[in-house]
Structures are given as C-alpha cells and as structure tokens.
Structure 1
C-alpha cells in the first residue's frame, strides 16, 4: 500500500524557518520517500506504508523535541493502491 503524508509544524515564523520546521523537513527528506515537496505552507511526501509510517513517527518525535507546539498531519491511501 502506498501512502501520502501532508504536514505542517507550528509555531510559524514569517522571517525564517524555525528549528522544528527544519528538523521535520530533514526527517522527511532523508526518509527515502518519493515525491517529496517541501514548501513554506506545507509539505508532502509519498511512499510505501512502512516507510511513511516510520517517517511520521520520527517526524512527530523530532519536531516536538525541537520546539514544535503543534504538528498537523494528514495521511491518505493513494488511490488505486489499496
């Protein structure tokens, strides 16, 4: 099964990316996922279920440890891959 994860971390800083955002992006970028898209208002990535779920676990733990006060995420099954 393939999954897509979309996430944001808070608090926001309009002047520069806060440490928790940089950590979250690094976790996702280094997780070996496909179609990684990092942006100022949200981030997405796709991959196999085990890869995505492992990356989500690391993302939550490391972003919170780096100062995030909120992590919003959505995980979807990619159509046709159920």
Structure 2
C-alpha cells in the first residue's frame, strides 16, 4: 500500500523557518519517501505505508518537541502505479 501525507506545522514565521519546520523537513527528506515537496504553507510526501507511518510518528514527536504548537496532517491511500518500473523504484 502507498500513502501520501500532507502536513503543516505551526506557528508560521515567513522571515525565518522555525526550528519545528526545519525538523519536519529533515524527517521527510531523510525517511526514504518518494515525491517529497516541502514549502512554507504545506508539505507532501509519498511512499510505502510503513515508511510514511514511521515518518508521521517521528514528525509528530519531534516537531512538537521542537516548538510546534499545532501539527495538521492528512494521510491518503494512493493507487499503485501500473508502470512496473515505477513500482520497483518505490519499493526502496
């Protein structure tokens, strides 16, 4: 099963990335997920269910410890690719 997680951490600071946002970026970029996209108003990442769920757990624990006062997230099941080459690449 593949999952997509979309999340934001607060409070926002447009002048400088807060510590909790930096922690969130490090977690998703280091989790071996596919299609990671981080930005100031929202972040998304896709991958196998186990990796996404592990990343979500770390994201919640570590961003709250780093000063986040709110973490909003949504997790969706996404369809597996019909292209075998993409399926192989996502099984990292």
Same fold (TM over 0.5): yes
Name whichever structure is richer in helix by fraction.
2
TM-score norm. by structure 1 comes to 0.95
Secondary structure of 2:22 counterpart: helix
Q: Where does structure 1 differ by over 2 angstroms across 4 or more consecutive aligned residues?
A: none
Deviation at 1:80, TM superposition (A): 4.8
Name the Cα RMSD after superposition.
1.1
Count of paired positions: 81
TM-score norm. by structure 2 comes to 0.85
Q: Name stretches of at least 5 consecutive residues in structure 1 with no aligned partner.
A: none
Q: Name stretches of at least 5 consecutive residues in structure 2 with no aligned partner.
A: 82-92
